[in-house]
Chains A and B, each alone.
Chain A
């Protein structure tokens, strides 16, 4: 418990039903072409909590989000998202933003943003109203009628996030949302994302390989590793973010945390 840092390994004995949990994975396993990608994964994200998942590429981070969103189906275990136990015909009740913006090139920003509402049969006037309301805080008010190819990479990611959150699901999954952006854009979008989500009580699960991003954005950081693929450590980083320091990444506490997380990642890289 030194300087607010908590660390403990994720044990498998935590199979307790948690009423505040919006995402809950119990002993989840997944195979791809007879190779085990994930095995016995346990994970909870509570209401209003921001959890980051860091790990080397290929450790199954993105697979985990695909399982929670229902795009993939687990081999074993149970996944609860939004209070529903997932099955193959239960899908579409979590917001999921992938690494690529995946904007439809023939639709304007507004039309791309309201895609989720449109697919649920919300009238276009009503969903346009929803888009207009949110567009301001997303900094997109002036480009609602633009086509995606007219926007910068950072703006396109904002549109993708707007599209993901518009259906107002309590769970938000983010897969490397800023991974393809340059460092300056990434850092301004990280700050902006914190502000946008500040008042929200969504349960957010972020997948990233950027340790700094994880510490900056999340309340809790989970470290995933290769062989065996799984969650090997967990850090409480809430105190680091709440201090409101401008250059927080230079603080001793931040550097110490980053070092510890990298140590965990590094240890397993060598073993592999």
Chain B
């Protein structure tokens, strides 16, 4: 009884998403059935689910490899992003020498770099971590620079009149002010990191969900490809949820303002 009562508010929050997803799945299943689509062309959700359960161990093993790559790549990206963004905000010389290069680096299609990385660093985990970093450090740097710069000049002046050193101003004013932007960038990076892992595995790997998809495709194991996509989505959502959890915790400590959620459609 009490369990139902605690679960009910959460159910209400998730119900629209669950209902929408279920409706789409039923539509998919029905269309495949009615139009008599070949299984190898587009398997219905029921066949994909069966594949997922029958080869469960296989998916868990390869998901483990991909998860390790993502966690490592994401961690390196955050560390690198924090250092670069702080440098850009700290000194104009740093900004002028590296900001344009960082932006230019994003115009290179990373997908073309992946085969080169395999040649340079080999097919072990390192090449995948580098691809993930290339995909994720940009949103982290941009959001953090924006966040650190969002501080009111008057606030900075106020800190100066109270005798703050530049480091104190950075730590006690700019970093807490940057948190909302920083987490927005982290959320983008979390989702994109999964794409980076798959692309890295595509061009040279011996394990991982991306490698599994690459292998299953040409053999017309279409259900396996779809099942791998399902597992990847779950991975991305889990990483996203982890970032949201850390965000909630840190914003409880450093609330940006009185928490307001603006919905223009409900005014």
Tell me the A residues contacting B by CB distance below 8 Å. 66, 69-71, 91-96, 98, 100, 102, 104-106, 115-116, 118-120, 147, 149, 163, 167
B163 touches A167 (CB 8 A): yes
Set of chain B residues within 8 Å of A92, measured between Cβ atoms = 160-164
* Complex: A50 Cα to B157 Cα, angstroms: 24
**Is B258 interfacial (CB 8 A cutoff)?**
yes
Interface secondary structure of A, over-half rule: loop
Question: What is the number of contacts between chain A and chain B, taking CB atoms within 8 Å?
Answer: 58
Among B158, B172, B176, B253, the residue within 8 A (CB) of A98 is: B158
B256 touches A105 (CB 8 A): yes
Set of chain A residues within 8 Å of B160, measured between Cβ atoms = 70-71, 91-92
* Complex: A206 Cα to B176 Cα, angstroms: 32
Smallest CB gap from B255: residue in A: A106
| A91-B163 contact, Cβ under 8 Å, with A106-B176, A106-B253, A106-B255 | yes
* Complex: A181 Cα to B258 Cα, angstroms: 20
A-B contact pairs, 16 of them (CB 8 A): A70-B161, A91-B160, A91-B161, A92-B161, A92-B164, A95-B161, A100-B154, A102-B158, A105-B256, A105-B258, A106-B254, A115-B172, A119-B163, A149-B257, A149-B258, A167-B163
**Is B33 interfacial (CB 8 A cutoff)?**
no
* Complex: A163 Cα to B164 Cα, angstroms: 14
* Complex: A93 Cα to B172 Cα, angstroms: 20
* Complex: A98 Cα to B158 Cα, angstroms: 8
Set of chain B residues within 8 Å of A93, measured between Cβ atoms = 163
**Is B168 interfacial (CB 8 A cutoff)?**
yes
Smallest CB gap from B153: residue in A: A71
| A116-B162 contact, Cβ under 8 Å, with A66-B157, A102-B155 | yes
**Shortest beta-carbon distance, B167 to chain A, in Å?**
11
Set of chain A residues within 8 Å of B165, measured between Cβ atoms = 119
B161 touches A96 (CB 8 A): yes
B161 touches A71 (CB 8 A): yes
